[in-house]
Structure 1
C-alpha cells in the first residue's frame, strides 16, 4: 500500500517538504498554509479531511514553541494543541521535530507515540552543513571586512564546528578552533585550523563563531577583544557567550539561530524528507 502524507503547519521548510514528497509521486495533503499561496502538487484540505486521507502525518520543526499552539506561521488561525487535536491522529504514523512540548500538551500523545525526526543523525549532519553555510553568510553580511585574511575563532568541534572550520579555511580565513577533547584538537589541526584549549584563548579575533550551548566565552576572553570584534551565536539557549559582559564592553553579539530554515529551507526540507523516508523503511 502506497503511503499518503499529510503536512500540518510549519515554515518554508514544510512547504518545500510537501512539494518534494508530492514530486516523488505520493499523494500529499496540507493544512495550515492558508496565507502562503498554493503548494505545487499538494492538495490543501481541511484538517479533518487531511487526517482521513493520510496514513503519515508530518508535523513541523519545532512542532511548537509555546506548548499551546502548533508552529504554523502561514495558518489563517492558531492551531491549538489539546486533547481533541491529539486524538485526531490515533491509528496514524506521526513524525515531527523537537516533540517534547507537543507531547506534554496532552496525555493522548502517549497512545499515539509520535516519532521525532529531529533526533535522526542524517538530519543532524545535514542541518550542520546548512548551519555552517548560514553562519558564513551572516559573517559576510555583518563583518565590514572580508573573511579572506580574517582571524576567526570557532568554539566547539561538533558537526557544525567541523563544517564551519572547513568553509572558513577554504575561504582563506585564519581559523582557530577551541575545544576540550584532545581528539578534537588534533582533528582541528587536520582541518587546517590552529587548535586551542579554552584556557589558551588569549588573542584578539576579528570574528568569533560559538557553537557550544554552554558558557565558554566569558568576560576574560571578551576583555581581550575590541569593539570591532563580531561574535556570532549559533548555539541554542543558554548559548556560550556572556552577553551581559559583551554589552558592557560594546562588543557586538549577533544571534544566528535556526539557520537551516531561514537560509536554506529547500535543502533543509530535503534533509527532513530523507530522515522521514528512512524512518518509514525501518
Structure 2
C-alpha cells in the first residue's frame, strides 16, 4: 500500500495506538483537533468506535471541548472518506447529504470476530477480580452463542470451568453439545440459574427479567457484555442483591493495542477492496 494521509479523529486509547501503528507502517498521521486542521488534505479520516455516544458529537474522551459531527462533515470535501465504528443510520444519511463517504468498520465480520477475543479476555478478567472463587470448577452460564459466546466458552472451558450455554437455534444447540459444553434451552433457564456461579450475557435484548432474576442465587456474579441498554433488569438485580457488571468497550480498556491492530487491518481491507 502506498503511504496515505490519515487523520485520527477522537477516540480512546485504541485511537492513540492506531495512530502509532499507522505511523510505523509509513503513513502520514495527524491527530485530531478541529481548529486549525485542514480536513481536505487527508486521504482518509478515521473516527472512533463508537462514532458517537450522544448522536451529536464525536466520541472523543481526551478532548476538552466537544467535537460536533456537523462541523466535521462541513469541514470535509465531497467524496472524502471517513471510517468509524457503530455509525447510526441518521449519521449515514447526514453524510450522504454532504457527499461524504462514511464507512462503518464495525460492520465488518473480520473485526467483530477478532474483537470478540479481547472482549472475552476482559470479561474473564472482571470475573476473577470481582469474585472470591476460582473460575476453575465453577458453574458458568453463557447466554448466547454468537461470536463472543463461542470464544468466551472456549476460554472458560480451557480454564476448567463447567460451561453451560443457553441458545435458541437448533444448530447452535448441536454445536454446543458437539464441543462438550452443556446446552440449556431458554425455557429451562429458571430451573438452572440458581446453580450458577457466573453468568455472562452476550444477547443485546432483555433476557434476565425480574421473573428470571428471582431464581438466581444472591452470590451469582452477572457480567453483561451486551451493548446498551443491555440484557439485564439492573434495578431488579440491585433490589435482589445480585451483583451485575455492565462491561462495555472492553477491547479498548484491556487490550487497546490489540484492538487497534484489529481496526488497522480492517481499514486496510476496506481500502484494498474499495480501491481508496
Q: Distance in 2 between matches of 1:76 and 1:257?
A: 22
State the Cα distance separating 1:102 from its structure 2 match.
Answer: 7.0
Q: Relative to structure 1, is the Cα distance of residues 166 and 108 closer, same or farther in structure 2, using a 3 angstrom cutoff?
A: closer
Out of 104, 107, 114, which is 1:126 matched to?
Answer: 114
Long gaps (5+) in structure 1: 33-44
SS of residue paired to 1:114: strand
Q: CA separation in 2, counterparts of 1:174 and 1:107? A: 48
Equivalent pairs, count: 268
Q: Aligned-pair distance for 1:97? A: 1.2
Select between 191-200 and 269-278 the one with higher mean Cα deviation. Answer: 191-200
Name the counterpart of 2:86.
98
Indicate yes or no: 2:236 matched with 1:248: no
Matching of residues 192-271 of structure 1 within 5 Å: 192-201=180-189, 202-203=191-192, 204=194, 205-271=196-262
2:253 & 2:178 partners in 1: Cα distance?
Answer: 31
Aligned mates of 1:102, 1:27 — CA distance in 2: 31
Task: State the match for 1:11 in structure 2.
Answer: 12
Q: Distance in 1 between matches of 2:144 and 2:31?
A: 39
Cα distance between partner residues in 1 of 2:83 and 2:221:
38
Q: Does 1:164 align with 2:156?
A: no
Structure-2 change in CA distance of 1:103 and 1:156 (3 Å): same
Cross-structure match for 2:173: 185
C-alpha separation between the residues in 1 aligned to 2:170 and 2:89? 36
Say which is worse superposed, 167-176 or 255-264, in terms of deviation: 255-264
Contact 1:131–1:259 (8 Å) recurs in 2? yes
Cα RMSD, aligned residues only: 2.0
Shift of 1:130: 1.2
What does residue 48 of structure 1 align with? 37
**Alpha carbons 1:246, 1:253 under 8 Å: kept:** yes
User: In structure 2, do the counterparts of structure 1 residues 79 and 101 end up closer, same or farther at CA, with 3 Å as the change threshold?
Assistant: farther
Between the aligned partners of 2:127 and 2:11, the Cα distance in structure 1 is 27
Who is 1:28 aligned against? 29
Q: Aligned in 2, Cα 1:160/1:85: closer, same or farther, shift over 3 Å?
A: same
Taking structure 2 as the reference length, the TM-score comes to 0.90
SS of the equivalent of 1:111 reads coil
TM-score, normalised with respect to structure 1: 0.89
Query: How many angstroms does 1:168 deviate by?
Result: 0.6
Secondary structure of 1:136 counterpart: helix
Contact 1:67 1:104 survives alignment (8 Å)? no
The runs of 5 or more residues in structure 2 that have no matched partner are none
* Pairs within 5 Å for 1:131-170: 131-170=119-158
d(CA) in 1 for partners of 2:90 and 2:118?
Answer: 25
Mapped partners of 1:47, 1:179: distance in 2? 52
For 2:188 and 2:209, how far apart are their aligned partners in 1?
13
1:121/1:108 Cα in 2 relative to 1: closer, same or farther (>3 Å)? closer
Instruction: Tell whether the 8 Å contact from 2:92 to 2:102 is kept in structure 1 after alignment.
Output: no
Runs of 4+ in 1 over 6 A off after TM superposition: none
Residues 22-55 of structure 1 show CA distances to partners (whole Å, capped at 9, x for unaligned) of: 10111111114xxxxxxxxxxxx96523x24421
